[in-house]
Amino acid sequence: MIEAVALTKQFSEFIAVDSLSFHVNPGEIYGLLGPNGSGKSTTMKMLLGLLKPTAGSARINGFDVQQHTVEAKRSMGYVPEEPVLPERLTGWEYINYVSDIWRVPRGVERDKEIDDLLTLLDIKDASDDLIETYSKGMSRKISLVAALIHNPKILILDEVQAGIDPRGAATIKEILVGLRDRGNTILMSTHILEIAERMCGRIGIINHGKMIAEGTMDELRTKAKGQQSLEDIFLDLTGGPDMQKIAEFLGE
Ligand SMILES: Nc1ncnc2c1ncn2[C@@H]1O[C@H](COP(=O)(O)OP(=O)(O)OP(=O)(O)O)[C@@H](O)[C@H]1O
Ligand SMILES: [Mg+2]
């Protein structure tokens, strides 16, 4: 279970996350949505214990992340928005390095698990190449393999589908849905509203660090005056494009 309780992050004068509260249950995929700069990644970093909250608390399986960092971190897998990867290792070396850190026992079973994930995500052929040669999508895929390899009960995925090809995105969806059905707790952010609509049981829309709407798709539809698609709901709640300014720019 993931819990954010009045989570707040202030960078000097600027409040990036403003008393944000929400929770993600085991067996649930929760989608955190919001415009660029609305505080999604900052929220995730506080839940992961990578960033200290200015106020409020983050709890993972009941453990306060600030007070019981190790216990909390042990059960989490994270794919960052911009994965920082060791360029001079091959994909295979990197995943084995991460597996060792998590103390996943070495052996045939572990090799098979890694092999299966690399194959599923279509990066097996590149696993002996240096990571510096990987494309953006390949880097994100190897970062997902690294996040999954210790079989964490809690997954925090920051735009994991960004730049992923359709087959890869469909594969990731099936993996995550399967993990959800096995009782894992999944928090993901995405700008691909179709993915959120299809995968997430509940969705939280944040703007300027505050929760402006939360619920199932049906609940959000009711909130947004019966708007049907998540895109319409999102634009209704966060503001659509300024057509007048666009027309001025286009010289009309
Ligand atoms: N280390 C930092 N120092 C100062 N301001 C920061 C820092 N990190 C984030 N911010 C600011 O906090 C706000 C929220 O950033 P965050 O990265 O959480 O947004 P986001 O919702 O993940 O956006 P995106 O959709 O573009 O990924 C932004 O205005 C950003 O400039
Ligand atoms: Mg972000």
Q: List the chain pLDDT tens, one digit each, 252 residues.
A: 999 999 999 999 999 999 999 999 999 999 999 999 999 999 999 999 999 999 999 999 999 999 999 999 989 999 999 999 999 999 999 999 999 999 999 999 999 999 999 999 999 999 999 999 999 999 999 999 999 999 999 999 999 999 999 999 999 999 999 999 999 999 999 999 999 999 999 999 999 999 999 999 889 888 877 777 889 889 988 998 998 999 999 987
Tens-place pLDDT, residues 192-233: 999 999 999 999 999 999 999 999 988 988 887 777 788 988
State in Å: Cα 190 to ligand 2 middle: 9
For residue 38, the CA-to-ligand 1 centroid distance in Å is 7
Give 2-75+152-249's CATH code, choosing from 3.40.50.300, 3.40.50.720, 3.40.1390.10, 3.30.465.10: 3.40.50.300
Rounded CA-CA distance 227/218 in Å is 10
Kindly report the protein residue whose alpha carbon is nearest to atom 30 of ligand 1: 37
Q: From ligand 2's centre to the CA of 12, what distance in Å?
A: 19
Claim: this prediction has a pTM higher than 0.75: yes
Confidence at residue 12, expressed as pLDDT on a 0 to 100 scale:
94
Residue 194, classed as helix, strand or coil, is helix
- Please write down the HEC assignment for all residues of 49-118: CCCCCCEEEEEECCEECCCCHHHHHHCEEEECCCCCCCCCCEHHHHHHHHHHHCCCCCCHHHHHHHHHHH
Residues within 5 Å of ion ligand 2 by Cβ? 40-41, 81
